Structures are given as C-alpha cells and as structure tokens.
C-alpha cells in the first residue's frame, strides 16, 4: 500500500491525531485507524462493520448507487453474457481472463478433480434423510480436510492451488449428492465429457433406470446462475471466510464456515424467501391484494425479490438473469405450475406500477434465479446450496488473496462493553 498523502484530524480531549486517508481506484476514501487505539486509547464503534474496510482487495467492486458490479474490472453483465462460469472462475482466481490454452488447462484440472474420495460417502449416510442439504454440505466440506492432507498447508503456494481446484471441482458433486440423499435416490457420479453446469444438472436429476440428456438452455441458465453469484465483494459469508482464514485455519474449514454463514436467511436464503412469498400469494388473482399490502407501511408484508440492500438503483445481474428466466419458462412452460404463473404476473404488475418504479423496487437476481430453479424442479431447500456452490470460487479467491497479504493479522474485533464492572462474590455470600 502506498504512503498516504492526505490526513484527517481527530480531536479527543483537546489532543489532535492525524489519521491517514487512502484513495482507492474506485469507491469512497478510507480513514486508516489501525494506530488509533495505540495512540489515543479509543476504539471505533461500527456494528455490522457497515462503515469499516477490513481489507484491501483487487477482486470485486460494487457501486450500489450506480448499479455496478465489477470482477477484476469487468462488468458482470458482460461476463454473464459473453463468458461462462469456469472462465469467470479463472478471472477471479488469477486476475486476468485466460488464453484459450490456459482455459483448456484450467477446465481439464477442474474436470479431473470432480470425484469424491469414496470413503466420504459414509459421511452422507450418517445424516438423517430429512437433513437440510446445507447441513450436509457444511459437514462434508469441513471433513475434506480429513481426506486431502496434501492441500491443507496454507504456507505452501502449490497446496493452496490444489485446494482451490479441489473445492471448485468437488462442490457440485457434494451439492448434488446432498440433494440425492435427501430424496432417497442413488448418487450419480460426475462425467468428464460434460461441462461444469451440465455435469451438475445430470448429477441432480439423472437416475440409473434411464438415460438423461441435459437441455442446453437449462445448462446455460444454470451456468449463468453460477456466474452471477460467483463473488460479491466483502459480504457476510466472504468476511466469515476471511475471519476464519486469519487464524490460519485450513481452506476446507474456512469454506465450511462460509457455507454456514450463507445458510442464514438474511444472506443466502433470499431466493428461497422469494419462492415462499409466491407460495403465500398462491394464485394470480390474489396479486392485487399483495401489491396493496406491500404499499401499506403498516403491513409487515414485503415483496421478496424486489429491490436490494446494496443496489439502490437496479441489480446489474437481474437483466441477464431475466433473459435466462424467460428462456427457461418458454422451454418448460408455466401452464401447469401456479407458482410460476404468479411469478410472471407479479413481475408484470410490479414493473407497471409507478409506486415500485419510484422507489426503484425492481426484480433482482434472487427473484429470477428462484423462478429458474423452481422451473427446473429444484426444491427450495436446494436454492442456498446452489448459491454456496457458485460462491465457492469467490470465497477461495478472497482466501488466496488474504493469505498472500503481508498485512495479514488475525481478526479480532473490539467491543463496547456495557456489562457490570468489578462485582464482588462476597456480596452473594452475605445475602
């Protein structure tokens, strides 16, 4: 990091302190408070870390006001429209888009690591059949460190590389097996002649009794879902991965921690919440009722899948996802699925209503991805595991960047203590 040329003055009890100001390539300036406690004996107070930069990064940048999401400088809509998931994985991991030879080598390495150690099948069978797939994924991914000892030494760049490829390659297999286990069907092993998204769909929906051909429209839609969820800057799960990594934990434990955080409904469960809302609406004739409720400030009902806490204008991923949603629904139809009928008519009603336009409550990526996954036949319990599968490359890229950072320190947030002070146990004895 270059030396700061700008400073802010902070005055505490009449004494002034100079705080360095750093200017990023994009985004707001940052006050450096690393020496504040040592110099002034005070902490800053920022619940949720909403005004705190915990690291510097070159991977992803978000401008919520402008509706901008960049991966290594490339806009997400361009990547989703012109590229594919494994090419974006390469970009996130290594900083540049690959040459044809580099991409072929990368895809080959990922493809040849998709199988799981056969003994890991015992982990799946140890769960109840009604276990949530995310519970299974947290356990199985964390257990990978017990099987792949040759890629847990975080001080070895080659072992970090092997762990990265293994996690990207094996996550679709783990997610698909978690799904198969919960529905009582036999596991389907990966095939090396299929692309990443097609392989995942086959592992989820193929059965031994008949052949399964992956429809290219569904495969492309799934690849776009993966691409549009690959990374999203310093969100809750990414910060969890970085915090776990700061202690020196192995990569499999760190990614398992990210999966656990993503499981929370305030984070990875948004598209599941969207489908649950559509189920609550039930039929298209009830849409006006729920539109009215969404406008009523005194009604707790909210339209899930509309607007975004980060993107204050529009979600740049939503336009691309809508294209895939339209293609999938045209292919599979909505006539026999009342939930998809509600989704299409709700989208049209909200887009035509000035209230939602004025408040910039447009359908976001979770709305459209939920529709696509529902149409494909995935239960809502699989929505978050698919999100975790897609986000794995973002977590790994952030983890690799952090490990290589010479400024790396163990994460140790401070607190504003408001509890009792200096109580005497003898007070209890003398009651």
pLDDT given for residue 207 in this prediction: 96
Q: What is the mean pLDDT of the chain?
A: 91
d(CA 173, CA 178): 9
pLDDT given for residue 2 in this prediction: 63
CB 219 within 8 A of CB 201: yes
pLDDT given for residue 336 in this prediction: 72
CB 351 within 8 A of CB 362: yes
Is the whole model's pTM more than 0.85, yes or no?
A: yes
pLDDT in tens, 49-85: 988 999 999 999 999 888 899 999 999 999 999 999 9
How much is the average pLDDT of 387-406?
96
d(CA 160, CA 163): 5
Would you tell me how many other CB atoms lie within 10 Å of the CB of residue 11? Answer: 8
DSSP code string of 165-180: HHHHHHHHHHHHHHHH
CB 212 within 8 A of CB 205: yes
324's CB contacts (< 8 A; 6+ apart) are 220, 221, 224, 225, 368, 372
Report the DSSP beta bridge partners of residue 60. 71
In angstroms, what CA-CA distances link 209 with 136, 173, 185, 205? Answer: 26, 20, 11, 12
Report the DSSP beta bridge partners of residue 20. 7
Task: Point out the least confidently predicted range of 141-145, 184-188, 265-269, 276-280.
Answer: 265-269
Helix (H) or strand (E) holding 331: helix 318-332
pLDDT, greater one: 424 or 58? 58
pLDDT bracket for residue 315 (50, 70, 90): confident
What residues are labeled active site?
308, 366
Percent of the chain with pLDDT over 70: 98
Would the pLDDT of 98 be above 80? yes
Nearest CA to 44 among 415, 398, 427, 303?
A: 415
């Amino acid at each position: 990091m270059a030396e700061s040329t700008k400073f802010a003055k902070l005055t505490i009890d009449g004494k002034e302190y100079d705080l360095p100001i750093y200017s990023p390539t994009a985004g707001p300036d940052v006050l450096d408070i690393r020496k504040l406690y040592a110099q002034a004996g005070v902490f800053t107070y920022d619940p949720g870390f909403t005004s705190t930069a915990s690291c510097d990064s070159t991977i992803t940048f978000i401008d919520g006001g402008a509706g901008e999401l960049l991966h290594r400088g490339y806009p997400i809509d361009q990547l989703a429209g012109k590229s594919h998931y494994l090419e974006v994985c390469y970009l996130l991991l290594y900083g540049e888009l690959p040459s044809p030879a580099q991409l072929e080598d990368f895809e080959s390495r990922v493809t040849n690591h998709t199988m799981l150690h056969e003994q890991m099948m015992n982990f799946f069978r140890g769960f109840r059949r009604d276990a949530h797939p995310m519970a299974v994924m947290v356990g199985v991914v964390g257990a990978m460190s017990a099987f792949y000892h040759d890629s847990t030494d975080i001080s070895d760049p080659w072992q970090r590389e092997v762990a990265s490829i293994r996690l990207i390659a094996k996550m679709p297999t783990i997610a698909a097996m978690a799904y198969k286990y919960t529905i009582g069907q036999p596991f389907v092993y990966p095939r090396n002649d299929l692309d990443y998204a097609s392989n995942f769909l086959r592992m989820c929906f193929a059965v031994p009794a008949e052949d399964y051909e992956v429809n290219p429209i569904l495969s492309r839609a799934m690849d776009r879902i993966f691409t549009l969820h690959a990374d999203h800057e310093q969100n809750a799960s990414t910060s969890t991965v970085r915090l776990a990594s700061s202690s020196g934990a192995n990569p499999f434990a760190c990614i398992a921690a990210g999966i656990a955080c993503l499981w929370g409904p305030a984070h990875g469960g948004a598209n599941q919440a969207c489908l649950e809302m559509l189920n609550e609406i039930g039929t298209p004739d009830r849409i006006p009722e729920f539109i009215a409720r969404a406008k009523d400030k005194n009604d707790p009902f909210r339209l899930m899948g509309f607007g975004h806490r980060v993107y204050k204008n529009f979600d740049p991923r939503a336009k691309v996802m809508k294209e895939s949603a339209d293609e999938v629904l045209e292919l599979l139809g909505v006539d026999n699925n009342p939930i998809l009928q509600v989704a299409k008519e709700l989208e049209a009603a909200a887009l035509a209503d000035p209230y939602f336009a004025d408040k910039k409550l447009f359908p976001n990526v979770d709305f459209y991805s939920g529709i696509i996954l529902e149409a494909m036949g995935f239960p809502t319990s699989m929505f978050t595991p698919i999100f975790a599968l897609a986000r794995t490359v973002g977590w790994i890229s952030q983890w690799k960047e952090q490990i290589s950072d010479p400024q790396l320190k163990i994460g140790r947030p401070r607190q504003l203590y408001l509890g009792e002070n200096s109580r005497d146990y003898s007070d209890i004895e003398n009651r």
